[in-house]
Amino acid sequence: MDIECKENFDIKNMTTFKVGGPVKKAYFPKTQQEITYLLQNIKNPLVLGSCSNIIFSSQGFDGVVIFTSKADNIMVRGTHIIAECGVKGPMASKAAYEASLSGFEFMIGFPGTIGGDVFMNAGAHGQNISDTFIRACLYDTKTKEVAYVDKDKMNFGYRKSLLQEGRYILLGAEFELKKSNKEEIKNLMDRNLEFRKNIQPSLAYPNAGSIFKNPENDSAGRLLDKAGVKSLEVNGVKVWQKHANFIVNTEDGTSEDIMELIYKMYQQVKDTYTIELEPEVRFIGKRTKREDEICKQIYKTKI
């Protein structure tokens, strides 16, 4: 297949944190079929969407990355929406609105793709991707075949799914939404956008969304705020003043700068409340000695 490929690809400007070093080889497939072909013919590639919920190492990645963001076909069939893994949240939200379907309003401000959203069971404003999810089209890395998996087998939980277990890679997904009034859908989308505008940093300020998951029956933002982390900064990487669970990269900081700030935030909450927050963002790529030390301390599961 004639699939776009770049060697020693500089990933920095593709990540929402504007951080990252060279990738040995990068592929940019445009269809599920091309993604499947690459997965069947490349050993242990890394698959990424819009790079919005990650910290990509400034040291780079000595392997192959498949970027899925160009595989972005979306279809509406009655109350069902079928989306390829590279469809971005706002695109899905607007497609639902145009079809008078409710259930995707929460994704209107999401920078991520359907692949990443399903991977982490993304959610906001009381809605989650799993709420409308019907089935997934997955690539099974064990059998090297395409498989269809229904919702009850996806192991959805708070910011978790079957995809995090490593065997499967999402190619596409089907959702069932509810018919609703377009004006009501638009009003909810506008309210969600206004909330994000007032509380969360826009991508004009390089960031990767929420840094930590909410502990059970509590808010990571509240704990971080009360622990006094808003004054923390490492080489121009700062805690966002409007919401303590966000970090902005204001002065071309490195992945190590970001990890150092995350560790300081984590440690301050631990010292104040004896609560160990779990990161929502994932670290990818080569690690410096300090990055390795931090990752081993703050990640509860292997990344």
Cα of first residue to Cα of last residue in the chain, in angstroms, is 31
Last residue of one domain, picked from the residues 21, 43, 67: 67
- Residue 212 within a domain: no
Q: Do 156 and 254 lie in a common domain?
A: no
Is residue 85 a part of any domain in this protein? yes
Provide, rounded to the nearest whole percent, the portion of the chain with pLDDT above 70. Answer: 99
pLDDT at 203: 81
Domain endpoint, select from 67, 87, 119: 67
Are both 293 and 266 inside the same structural domain?
yes
Residues 110 and 166 in one domain: yes
Nearest-angstrom CA–CA distance, 17 and 8: 20
- Model confidence at 77: pLDDT above 80: yes
Q: Confirm whether 34 is domain-assigned.
A: yes
- Is residue 243, in this structure, part of any structural domain at all? yes
**In the predicted model, is pLDDT for residue 303 greater than 60?**
no
Examine the pLDDT at 300 and tell me if it is beyond 90: no
| CATH number for position 164 | 3.30.465.10
Q: Is residue 279 part of a domain?
A: yes
- Single-letter amino acid code for the residue at 66: I
pTM value is 0.93
- Domain harbouring 63, CATH code: 3.30.43.10
What's the CATH code of the domain at 294? 3.90.78.10
**90 and 15 fall within a common domain:** no
CA–CA gap between residue 232 and residue 246 (Å, rounded): 12
How far, in Å, CA of 263 to CA of 183, rounded? Answer: 44
214 within domain boundaries: no
Per-residue pLDDT reduced to its tens digit, 112-163: 999 999 999 999 888 999 999 999 999 999 999 999 999 999 999 999 999 9
- In a domain, residue 206? The reply is no
Asked if 86 and 107 sit in the same domain, the reply is yes
Per-residue pLDDT tens digits for 152-194: 999 999 999 999 999 999 999 999 999 999 999 999 999 999 9
User: Looking at the structure, do residues 185 and 109 belong to the same domain, yes or no?
Assistant: yes
Instruction: Give the CA distances from residue 20 to residues 25, 57, 60, 157, 256, in Å, rounded to whole numbers and listed in that order.
Output: 14, 5, 6, 30, 11
Q: Are residues 227 and 182 in the same domain?
A: no
Cα(263)–Cα(266) distance, integer angstroms:
5
In this prediction, residue 302 has a pLDDT band, given cuts at 50, 70 and 90, of low
Residue with tokens 């013919």: 41
Residue 301 has pLDDT above 90, yes or no: no
Total of domains in the chain: 3
Domain containing residue 147: 74-197
Residues tagged active-site: 159, 210, 280
Residue-averaged pLDDT of the chain: 96
For 145, counting Cβ atoms within 10 Å of its Cβ (0-12 exposed, 13-18 middle, 19+ buried), the class is exposed
C-alpha 298: how far from chain center: 18
- Residue 281 domain-assigned (yes or no): yes
pLDDT digits (tens, 9 = 90+) for 194-229: 998 999 998 889 999 999 999 999 999 999 999 999
Q: For residue 161, which amino acid is it?
A: S
